[in-house]
Amino acid sequence: MPRPSRASRSAGPSGEPSGGSGGEPAAEARRAGPLIVTEDLALLDDLLRLCAAAGAEPEVHHTVPENRASWADAPLVLVGDDAAARCRGAARRQGVMLVGRDRDDPDVWRRAVEIGADCVLRLPDAESWLVDRIADAAEGVGRQALTVGVIGGRGGAGASTLACALALAAARTGRRTLLLDGDPLGGGLDVLLGGERAEGRRWPDFAASKGRVAGGALEESLPSVRGLRVLSWDRGDSVLVPPEAMRSVLAAARRRGGVVVVDLPRRVDAAVTEALAQLDLGLLVVPGELRAVAAAHRVASLAGMVLSDLRVVVRGPYAPGLDEQWVADALRLPLAGELPHDPGLLPALDTGVPPGSDARGPLGRFCAEFWERALTPEGAS
């Protein structure tokens, strides 16, 4: 049986991570992966491919490594069924998996018991499941990001403005922050933030994403603008996010922890439904006028079919007889807050100043107070 050229080697083939995030990601994106024990080169090639798809860099040996820490500290141990006999006597630990291809091997479970394996995997049937487990182990399974979606109750309600301001305010707290532009017809949140020339990938690069997208690779591939990562649109003609891509990309963003803010269009198509399903909280931005309330009622009815926690943000000035509580009561939604009228907002936007960049302005103060409530256990519940 041929062996790898060295008894121990680090394997991290270049190539595109799962979901088309593309290129060789930065060092943080490709994290320490599983320990692979095999000298079956065909099986090794498959396992290396799955590790690359998960954004993880494995350590490879053909037998139990002499350095006991390599076995004990690896997030996962993938033992090829050719190497099971050589792994007898290794320290028992969780996260050991016996991997092979022969579905008709009657002794596979006996070998699994001998090495203390948690499970037996057969490729290619278990590939998708194994990629998820490798990515979970490499990225960690900490607390997911608090994910807030912003939707306009009517056209021009200011949802994109609020989404950008919320993301900037979250980034100012030092939290990992990602702003996701879910509205292909909105003109691009990177433009609103003044980052349209920032290098990084945009939505068309992820349009073919399916299955698992590595969270670290996603984050490192996106433009960094004003202390946060932004997934927006390029200036091309593509205006379609397949629902599978929305599901995969947003799930990857959430696994990184911190805060994710999603700017959503008023229509609820398949991709928007996927985004709504992953939100912790939705904010419906409604100007204080009767026609806006009527339009917002339709949006709330559609979004509420998927999103269980939808709250209203009311924006002044108000039509006669209306106030923020009246609007919330009319929509039968909890009131998340009143966004005060800011006469200096539009002139600032015209000069390229991103919304909410002034932490002391009305919009900046509103967002800071929102996160102060939302980022506590009581406020998030």
Q: What is the pLDDT of residues 198-250, one digit of tens each?
A: 999 999 998 877 777 778 888 999 999 999 999 999 877 777 889 999 998 99
User: Cα–Cα distance between 12 and 82 in angstroms, integer?
Assistant: 22
**Which of 11-15, 90-94, 301-305, 322-326 is predicted with the least confidence, judged by mean pLDDT?**
11-15
The predicted model scores a pTM of 0.71
Bridge partners, residue 288, by sequence:
318
CB atoms within 10 A of CB 318: 17
Q: Which residues lie below 8 Å from residue 207, measured CB to CB, with a gap of 6+?
A: 20, 238, 240, 241, 242, 245
Q: What is the pLDDT of residues 287-307, one digit of tens each?
A: 999 999 999 999 999 999 999
Using the Cα atoms of residue 130, residue 136, residue 139 and residue 140 in order, give the sign of their dihedral: negative
What residue has token string 């006669």?
320
Which pLDDT does position 299 carry in this prediction? Answer: 97
**What's the average model confidence in pLDDT over 112-119?**
95
The CA distances from residue 240 to 165, 202, 244, 302, in Å, are 25, 12, 11, 20
Q: What is the pLDDT of residues 236-273, one digit of tens each?
A: 777 788 999 999 899 989 988 999 999 999 999 999 99
With pLDDT > 70 as the criterion, what percentage of the chain qualifies? 90
User: Cα–Cα distance between 343 and 176 in angstroms, integer?
Assistant: 31
Which pLDDT does position 55 carry in this prediction? Answer: 78
Q: Residue 380 — very low, low, confident or very high, per pLDDT cuts 50/70/90?
A: very low
Q: What is the pLDDT of residues 334-346, one digit of tens each?
A: 999 999 888 888 8
Contact status, residue 331 vs residue 185, Cβ threshold 8 Å? no
Which pLDDT does position 314 carry in this prediction? Answer: 97
